[in-house]
Structure 1
Amino acid sequence: MSTEPARDPGSREPGTRSAWVTALKGGALLALLAVTVWYLIGHELPTVDEIRSFVEDFGAWGPLVFAAVFVLVAATPVPVTIMAVSGGFLFGMAQGSVVGVVATTLGAWLGYWLARFLGRDALYRLAGNRVEVVERKLVGKGFLTVLVLRPVVPNWTLSYGAGLVRIPQRDYLGATLLGGMPGQVSFAAVGAFTSRPSWPALAVVAASWAVVVVVGVLAWRRSRQDPGHDSRRAPDADGVGSTE
């Protein structure tokens, strides 16, 4: 059984495109990150009240505009926390949770493909062998890896990294949705509690983060197991068991 990551049908080998195309695409990704960093350094993030005024200006289209902006924010290094809390503040805990989960998943998917399309060839030209080593280690472990890292690693870092090392899209999306759901529900509950204080909102926050901890611990323990490994008997090149 091959340990090589599955390749997309019809795709070129990474790093085989012309140097100028690779440089142009890699430069575009770096420019996107640079603009985001410039914004974060030179500007303050909007407050919940400012976001509410912005959404209200669009009238009936406000929720849709909010969701679209949320997706774009989730695809960049801009922290999504303020958007998630604002969703609960504006729309209530239930609707805010749905908007947060959907928007962060779509934004993470967009970030995944931005990094995969723009940065992967450049990464292979710079560190091809090391990237291949990482990809081989992640074969069959993409889902658990993302699930373990999702609650503790910034959304954009994980989405860009998963795209660059080509974690399978299905594994990435499934783990992103499952791993991000408790956090988004809790942020929406915080926003809902801010606008309409209630004990149920506080209970949801506590329960959501308890789920984050439990899922993270279970996934981490599962990721430490290697079902295909037998420490007592490893086959050598001739297929004969080795006792070393």
Structure 2
Amino acid sequence: MKKRTFWQEWQKIILFVGFAISCLIVLYAFDVIGKIDIEAASDYVRELGIWGMLLYVIVYTIRPLFFFPATLLTLFGGYTFGPFLGTALDIVGAGSGAVLAFLVARYLGREKIEKFVKGKKIERFDQSIQNNGFIVVLYLRLIPLIPFDSINYSLGLSSIKLKSYMAATYLGIIPGAFVLNYIGSSLRTMDSKLWIAVALYGVMVLLPFLVKKFKGTTQIHLEKEPVK
């Protein structure tokens, strides 16, 4: 087998880094970043009233098609609409976006989506979901540090039913949506609420792992316990 050259081995990474650097140069040259006024954008959306809410939900729904970071949009929602209304709109938008990604994956099929998602990841989902799809998806939604979009597309290629996927998704994103919207809303005042929000986020990050560890420990204990 012919040995791959350095360019062949690193071509995609070099091109990606080069593209990213070029974008940063353009943004810096035209001072695009400096012209972005988050507070002005937030005020504009709020002034639109119900149409601003609808716009936010629509943008959040189509967001997975462009892989725009969901966390940033959620924080903006909390900053704009407050912790409670922002959470409600986030659940609708994020949930609808997750369903859209799921349906896109089902429509396009495994071959095309596998270009972006590794096949082994899809196979692992299939094996887990065959047992209890609702619980698996619900658990995945409670983990804030996993790639939201790739999970959605992967689940679309799995054997889970759309009804179970939707129920687990809309239910599972509630805690994360509230915490991030709470953080976003507290950024306006930068008061003690921000530290409370950060603490809640820390608990949310640790909770799924603690639940999994407790479940594993309990299972081991039950297996070791003699049958009477």
**TM-score, normalised relative to structure 2:** 0.64
Confirm or deny that 1:165 pairs with 2:172.
Answer: no
> Residues 190-209 of structure 1 correspond to what in structure 2 (within 5 A)?
190-200=183-193, 202-209=195-202
Determine which of 140, 147, 153 is the counterpart of 2:138.
147
Which whole-Å CA distance do the structure 2 matches of 1:223 and 1:112 have between them?
A: 30
Superposed displacement of residue 200, structure 1: 4.0
Q: Which deviates the most, 66-75 or 47-56?
A: 47-56
Which whole-Å CA distance do the structure 2 matches of 1:224 and 1:68 have between them?
A: 43
Superposed displacement of residue 60, structure 1: 5.1
| TM-aligned CA distance change 1:214 to 1:139, over 3 Å | same
Determine which of 101, 104, 109 is the counterpart of 1:119.
109
Which whole-Å CA distance do the structure 1 matches of 2:218 and 2:155 have between them?
A: 21
> Residues 70-219 of structure 1 correspond to what in structure 2 (within 5 A)?
70-120=60-110, 122=112, 135-150=126-141, 151-200=144-193, 202-219=195-212
Superposed displacement of residue 201, structure 1: 5.0
Number of aligned residue pairs: 187
Which whole-Å CA distance do the structure 2 matches of 1:192 and 1:123 have between them?
A: 36
**Identity percentage of aligned residues:** 25
Structure 1 unpaired stretches of 5+: 1-37, 231-244
2:16: which partner in 1? Answer: none
**TM-score, normalised relative to structure 1:** 0.60
Q: Which has the higher helix share?
A: 2
Which whole-Å CA distance do the structure 2 matches of 1:207 and 1:141 have between them?
A: 29
Q: Which deviates the most, 140-149 or 99-108?
A: 140-149
Letter of the 1:63 counterpart: M
Question: Do the aligned partners of 2:180 and 2:201 also contact (CA within 8 Å) in 1?
Answer: no
Which whole-Å CA distance do the structure 2 matches of 1:216 and 1:169 have between them?
A: 26
CA RMSD of aligned residues (A): 3.8
Question: Do the aligned partners of 1:68 and 1:103 also contact (CA within 8 Å) in 2?
Answer: yes
| TM-aligned CA distance change 1:122 to 1:75, over 3 Å | closer
SS at 2:145's partner residue? coil
Which whole-Å CA distance do the structure 2 matches of 1:186 and 1:84 have between them?
A: 10
Superposed displacement of residue 177, structure 1: 2.5
Which whole-Å CA distance do the structure 1 matches of 2:83 and 2:96 have between them?
A: 20
| TM-aligned CA distance change 1:216 to 1:74, over 3 Å | farther
